[in-house]
């Protein structure tokens, strides 16, 4: 692994939902920046193990850990396994998320509940476990000015309403205020909590939106920057938010969306 710019050296990061898409790219980017990686997965064991192997082959340290982030006991176990292996936790990226789309009148309570359980309660459980760990371990100001860093993976739908996806949009709106309230509560402890709000990123979660040329053209009309985002775009933002380069940033939601939240429909005077 290159010795060049490794702002996260000797730090440990846990990325949830890291077996695919954004989580996998974030785990790779944090590892390249020097962090030891706990690669969480829920159902997809093989890709998570392959990713952990890839990081180790590249000269880093990594461990894959199964846990459903909506399960309190599983999250507590995941944290114990991370700390047993690496000795501590410095960075949490609460990324795991899913969609269960339906027109509102057809949405079942199970569709609503599962999305809230994973996307919002899952972040609560992971953040709580991480903060408890940050507060009980030794501070190392020579490696990180903050005592711990949390990045909540949100979405542009924390502010853009999304018909047909009310469970998802409600969960991300919740993530925004979870993130900000936590940042306010924990700032005196020098724990930084920020969010990333991705726009349209090319991953399995939104395959239908980019898989065909027709769908992609429709999507691009919403993106002033003229291209779909790649998972690596989010990986770079996560490295910055996890490092001392962003030490004075706390409670912020960083939109990485090619301008989607600039409301391009108003570009020609609405
Ligand atoms: P993805 O489907 O590739 O990744 C989601 C990951 O979460 C998967 O690895 C999945 O196995 C995991 N997961 C689902 N339920 C879980 C659970 N209960 N416990 C642990 N892991 C679980 O999609 P993605 O696009 O990489 O999504 C990652 C995050 O980014 C999500 O929170 C999503 O809402 C957010 N996001 C994605 C986009 C986009 O355009 N792709 C845009 C905005 C926000």
Question: d(Cα 225, Cα 147) in Å, to the nearest integer?
Answer: 36
Residue 220 lies in a domain: yes
Cβ-proximal residues to 28 (8 Å cutoff; 6+ apart), any chain: 51, 54, 55, 235
Look up the domain containing 77 and give its range: 3-259
In tens, the pLDDT along 139-168 reads 999 999 999 999 999 999 999 999 999 999
State which ligand 1 atom lies nearest to the alpha carbon of 43: 11
Residue 251 lies in a domain: yes
**Is 168 tagged catalytic?**
yes
Residues framing ligand 1 (Cβ under 6 A): 16-17, 19-23, 40, 42-44, 68-70, 95-98, 118, 122, 153, 155, 198, 200-201, 203-206
Q: How far is the CA of 66 from the centre of ligand 1 (A)?
A: 15
State which ligand 1 atom lies nearest to the alpha carbon of 153: 32
In tens, the pLDDT along 96-152 reads 999 999 999 999 999 999 999 999 999 999 999 999 999 999 999 999 999 999 999
Total domains in the fold of the chain? 1
For residue 214, give the CATH number of its domain: 3.40.50.720
Q: Give the position of tokens 């695919």.
A: 20
Question: d(Cα 226, Cα 23) in Å, to the nearest integer?
Answer: 24
pLDDT (0 to 100) of residue 4 = 65
Q: Give the position of tokens 């047909």.
A: 164
């Amino acid at each position: 692994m290159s010795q060049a710019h490794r702002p996260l050296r000797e730090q440990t990061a846990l990325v949830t939902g890291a077996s695919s898409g954004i989580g996998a790219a974030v785990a790779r980017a944090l590892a390249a920046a020097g962090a030891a990686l706990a690669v969480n997965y829920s159902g997809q064991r093989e890709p998570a193990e392959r990713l952990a192997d890839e990081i180790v082959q590249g000269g880093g340290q990594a461990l894959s850990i199964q846990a459903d982030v909506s399960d309190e006991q599983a999250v507590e176990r995941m944290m114990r396994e991370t700390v047993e292996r690496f000795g501590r936790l410095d960075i949490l990226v609460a990324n795991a998320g899913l969609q269960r789309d339906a027109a509102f009148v057809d949405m079942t309570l199970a569709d609503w509940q599962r999305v809230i359980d994973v996307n919002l309660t899952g972040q609560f459980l992971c953040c709580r476990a991480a903060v408890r760990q940050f507060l009980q371990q030794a501070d190392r100001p020579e490696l990180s000015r903050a005592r711990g860093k949390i990045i909540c993976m949100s979405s542009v739908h924390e502010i853009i309403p999304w018909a047909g996806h009310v469970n998802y949009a409600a969960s991300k709106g919740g993530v925004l205020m979870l993130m900000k309230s936590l940042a306010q509560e924990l700032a005196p402890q020098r724990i930084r909590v920020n969010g990333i709000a991705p726009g349209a990123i090319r991953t399995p979660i939104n395959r239908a939106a980019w898989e065909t040329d027709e769908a992609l053209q429709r999507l691009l009309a919403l993106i002033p920057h003229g291209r779909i985002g790649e998972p690596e775009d989010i990986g770079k933002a996560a490295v910055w938010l996890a490092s001392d380069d962003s030490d004075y940033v706390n409670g912020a939601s960083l939109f990485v969306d090619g301008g989607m939240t600039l409301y391009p429909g108003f570009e020609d005077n609405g």
